[in-house]
């Protein structure tokens, strides 16, 4: 239900459970983690495509509970998130239809989310009776808190324009051109020096985790080091 194709330095992961709007089963989580764990050696860019009308409705809610209990169940999510966080290349998601719950989480944990202008989003966890902690772990890096808390507590559906406005996605494109625009962007990326792409991502993460006072010297040293290594 998860497909994968390697195409040069581009990995393409396909959510292909269209009959269930790409709701993630445990098996799909495991397979996604596996692919992402292997990706650093093979791919500079990973593109996540969805088959069917929707990106993903999130976790499959009909699956029998994990016999290992909640810690084991949530460890599967944790493993996927860790694999995304550890990937040094660029993850691009192509968002269409509905991106709900964990589906929205995948978009948020990707580096670049390109969304169809008719895509729809929902954090439905609170309406289902639990707090979406894996999502809340990172949501305030993306959105203002007043917008984030409203979406979380109300579990209301919202559209692509609002998602762009608040910072959840990188850009909107006309729905009928989503695949073409994503392909064009991926071509642009793959035409760049992969070390430059990876440095940008790694550097943004690094400065975000150090005090402001340490950043100027870090920038000077890293920028000079990059130039010495590459020219």
In whole angstroms, give the CA distance from residue 185 to residue 111.
13
Q: For its own copies, give the closer residue by CB, 21 or 80.
A: 80
Q: For its own copies, give the closer residue by CB, 50 or 80.
A: 80
Q: For its own copies, give the closer residue by CB, 55 or 134.
A: 134
Q: In whole angstroms, what separates CA 189 from the centre of its chain?
A: 17
Asked if 58 contacts 80 with a C-beta cutoff of 8 angstroms, the reply is no
Give least dist CB 188 to its own copies, A: 6
By CB neighbour count within 10 A (0-12 exposed, 13-18 middle, 19+ buried), where does 213 fall?
A: exposed
Give least dist CB 134 to its own copies, A: 5
Give least dist CB 117 to its own copies, A: 16
Q: For its own copies, give the closer residue by CB, 3 or 8.
A: 8
Give least dist CB 66 to its own copies, A: 10
Tabulate helix, strand, coil % of the chain (nearest 5).
Answer: 55, 20, 30
Give least dist CB 168 to its own copies, A: 7
Q: For its own copies, give the closer residue by CB, 41 or 229.
A: 229
41-60 b/e (C-beta count within 10 Å ≥ 16 → b): eebbbbbbbbebebbbbbbb
Phi-psi region of 52 (alpha: psi -120 to 50; beta: other; left: phi over 0): left
Give least dist CB 139 to its own copies, A: 8
Q: For its own copies, give the closer residue by CB, 5 or 150.
A: 150
Q: For its own copies, give the closer residue by CB, 6 or 230.
A: 230
Asked if 2 contacts 15 with a C-beta cutoff of 8 angstroms, the reply is yes
In whole angstroms, give the CA distance from residue 68 to residue 45.
34
Q: Which two tokens stand for residue 81?
A: 């998130």
In whole angstroms, give the CA distance from residue 67 to residue 176.
43
Give least dist CB 122 to its own copies, A: 14
């Amino acid at each position: 239900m998860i497909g994968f194709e390697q195409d040069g330095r581009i990995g393409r992961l396909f959510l292909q459970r269209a009959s269930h709007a790409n709701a993630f089963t445990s098996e799909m989580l495991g397979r996604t983690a596996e692919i992402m764990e292997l990706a650093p050696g093979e791919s500079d860019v990973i593109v996540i495509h969805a088959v069917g009308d929707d990106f993903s409705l999130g976790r499959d809610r009909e699956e029998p509970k994990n016999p290992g209990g909640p810690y084991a169940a949530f460890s599967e999510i944790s493993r996927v998130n860790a694999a995304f966080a550890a990937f040094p290349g660029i993850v691009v998601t192509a968002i269409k239809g509905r991106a709900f719950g964990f589906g929205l989480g995948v978009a948020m944990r990707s580096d670049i989310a390109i969304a169809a202008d008719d895509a729809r989003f929902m954090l439905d966890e609170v309406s289902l009776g639990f707090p979406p902690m894996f999502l809340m772990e990172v949501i305030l890096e993306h959105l203002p808190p007043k917008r984030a808390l409203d979406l979380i507590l109300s579990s209301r559906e919202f559209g692509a324009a609002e998602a762009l406005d608040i910072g959840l996605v990188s850009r909107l494109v006309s729905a009928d051109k989503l695949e073409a625009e994503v392909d064009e962007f991926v071509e642009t990326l793959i035409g760049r020096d992969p070390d430059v792409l990876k440095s940008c991502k790694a550097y943004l993460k690094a400065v975000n985790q150090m005090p402001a006072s340490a950043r100027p010297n870090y920038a000077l040293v890293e920028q000079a080091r990059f130039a010495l290594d590459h020219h």
